[in-house]
């Protein structure tokens, strides 16, 4: 092997590494745009059945069907915002005007009531806490600062919302736009098979994301009814947040349960612990558990079996692996990504024994 060949090989390797680095840097810089595109893709998948219904059943033109669908989705989103923003703003105003010393005193009172009720003061935990001065070290003033930061991001949210809606419109209107861009890099003899894969993926993921919407809605209704029965303040906001957290597999319900527990207890600060706070919190958590049981034994099996057509054990392993590799984001996108990979493998490697086993229900 001559020196020129070796030198050319080294130069090509350096060029490839530099190109990969440059591509990675470029993707990192436009990560917000990529996020908009990903969210718009999900929105378009949710809206796709509506567009097909309007076109096939009501004989709407494609553009009109897309406009009606986007108007409907935007109306639902606007309704949610109009319903939740005033409640969040009210809470923010209350917290910004909050007497920090009074808040600390209320938490200390709640702690004393808990220790007295469970008769654990003999362990002298209270004295240890006082000696450590831990409550005085908590920066309660960070709460209003955090809310101010949230308020300052509303401008960016508005830009992002407009971008997502704009991209979603064209994803729905020109549904083959993305596919045609990929087809440029695909050999002619593979185009029909890849097109078939795209259609199958869109059908499966549309059903999956619509199923997730109904899953959140069911939990939201159960949580809202439970919190309203026991007169928890801002019941709608709490129920929506806990239902939304359920989108994060396994971890989300735990965080949602902890959030509901804390907010249920703190909403009755100043009341007697044994006769008001503890019973109310227990009943609220029973309602939360009932919601989780319905979700685990009805909603989730229905969604997975009728949308992505994968065994629950498959889904469990895929979510765990996605979480280990990419964290929370990996857990959220694991099922859609796995479904897309299965469809493509079935189309191009249908004779493989492992692929046959994994895709027998597709």
> Which residue range(s) make up the domain with 206?
176-362
Question: Which is more confident, 95 or 183?
Answer: 183
125 vs 269, higher pLDDT: 269
Q: Which of 118, 151, 174 is the last residue of a domain?
A: 174
87, with CB counted inside 10 A (0-12, 13-18, 19+), is middle
What is the predicted pLDDT for the residue at 222? Answer: 92
Q: Is residue 111 part of a domain?
A: no
Q: Per-residue pLDDT tens for 79-95?
A: 777 766 666 665 555 54
Same domain, residue pair 214 and 309: yes
Q: How far is Cα 21 from Cα 348, in angstroms, rounded to an integer? A: 31
Same domain, 249 and 165: no
What does the pLDDT look like over 40-85, one tens digit per residue?
888 888 888 888 888 888 888 888 988 998 898 888 888 777 766 6
In 3-state terms the chain splits into helix, strand, coil percentages (rounded to 5) of: 85, 0, 15
Q: Looking at residues 312-323, what average pLDDT do you find?
A: 81
Span 29-44, pLDDT tens digits: 887 888 888 888 888 8
Same-domain status, 235 and 351: yes
pTM of the model: 0.65
- Which of the pair, 162 or 98, is modelled with greater confidence? 162
State phi, psi for 297 to the nearest 5 degrees.
-105, -5
Q: What angle do CA 311, 315, 318 make, to 5 degrees?
A: 135
- Asked if residue 129 is part of any domain, the answer here is no
Identify whether 119 is part of a domain. no
- Look at residue 122 in the predicted model and tell me its pLDDT: 44
Q: For residue 181, count CB atoms less than 10 angstroms from its CB and return exposed for 0-12, middle for 13-18, buried for 19 or more.
A: exposed
Q: Which residue has the higher pLDDT, 354 or 1?
A: 354
Question: What percent of the chain stands above pLDDT 90?
Answer: 2
- The pLDDT tens digits of the residues spanning 9-36 come to 778 888 888 888 898 888 888 878 888 8
The pLDDT score that the predictor gives to residue 98 is 46
Last residue of a domain, one of 149, 174, 199: 174
- Has residue 270 been placed in a domain? yes
Assigned domain for 105 exists: no
Are 161 and 225 contained in the same domain? Answer: no
Is the model's pLDDT at 123 over the cut of 50? Answer: no
Q: Which of 174, 200, 222 is the last residue of a domain?
A: 174
> Are residues 355 and 220 part of one domain?
yes
Q: Which residue has the higher pLDDT, 129 or 270?
A: 270
Residue 125 within any structural domain of the chain: no
In this structure, are 162 and 181 located in the same domain?
no
- Domain presence at residue 215: yes
Residue 106 counted as domain residue: no
Count of the separate structural domains present in the chain:
2
pLDDT of 121 reads: 47
Based on the domain organization, do 152 and 186 belong to the same domain?
A: no
pLDDT of residue 275: 72
The answer to whether residues 186 and 157 belong to one domain is no
Regarding whether 168 and 276 lie in a shared domain, the answer is no
Residue 280 and residue 170 share a domain: no
Q: Is the pLDDT of residue 312 over 50?
A: yes
| pLDDT at residue 225, as a whole number | 92
Pair 160, 227 in one domain: no
Same domain? For 211 and 351 the reply is yes
Residues 146/147/149/150 CA torsion (nearest 10 deg) = 120
């Amino acid at each position: 092997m001559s020196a020129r060949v070796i030198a050319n090989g080294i130069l090509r390797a350096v060029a490839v590494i530099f190109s990969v680095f440059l591509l990675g840097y470029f993707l990192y810089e436009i990560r917000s745009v990529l996020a908009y595109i990903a969210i718009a893709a999900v929105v378009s998948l949710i809206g796709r059945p509506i567009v097909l219904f309007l076109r096939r059943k009501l004989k709407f033109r494609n553009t009109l069907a897309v406009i009606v669908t986007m108007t409907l989705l935007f109306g639902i989103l606007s309704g949610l915002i109009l319903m939740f923003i005033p409640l969040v703003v009210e809470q923010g105003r209350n917290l910004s005007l909050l007497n920090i010393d009074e808040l600390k005193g209320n938490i200390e009172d709640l702690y004393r009531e808990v220790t007295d009720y469970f008769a654990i003061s003999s362990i002298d935990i209270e004295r240890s806490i006082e000696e450590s001065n831990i409550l005085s070290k908590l920066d309660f003033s960070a709460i209003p600062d955090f809310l101010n930061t949230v308020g300052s991001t509303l401008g960016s949210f508005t830009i992002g919302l407009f971008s997502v809606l704009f991209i979603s419109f064209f994803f729905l209107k020109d549904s083959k736009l993305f596919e045609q861009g990929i087809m440029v890099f695909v050999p002619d003899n593979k185009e029909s098979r890849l097109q078939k894969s795209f259609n199958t993926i869109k059908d499966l993921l549309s059903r999956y994301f619509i199923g997730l919407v109904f899953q959140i809605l069911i939990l939201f209704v159960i949580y809202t009814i439970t919190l309203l029965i026991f007169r928890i303040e801002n019941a709608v906001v709490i129920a929506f947040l806990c239902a939304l957290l359920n989108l994060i597999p396994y971890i989300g319900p735990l965080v949602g349960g902890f959030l509901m527990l804390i907010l249920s207890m703190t909403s009755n600060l100043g009341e007697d612990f044994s006769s008001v706070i503890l019973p109310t919190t227990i009943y609220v958590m029973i309602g939360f558990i009932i919601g989780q049981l319905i979700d685990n034994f009805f909603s989730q099996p229905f969604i997975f079996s009728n949308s992505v057509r994968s065994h629950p054990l498959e889904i469990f392993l895929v979510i765990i692996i996605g979480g280990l590799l990419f964290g929370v984001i990996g857990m959220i996108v694991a099922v859609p990504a796995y479904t897309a990979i299965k469809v493509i493998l079935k189309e191009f490697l249908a004779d493989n024994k492992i692929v046959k086993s994994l895709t027998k229900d597709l």
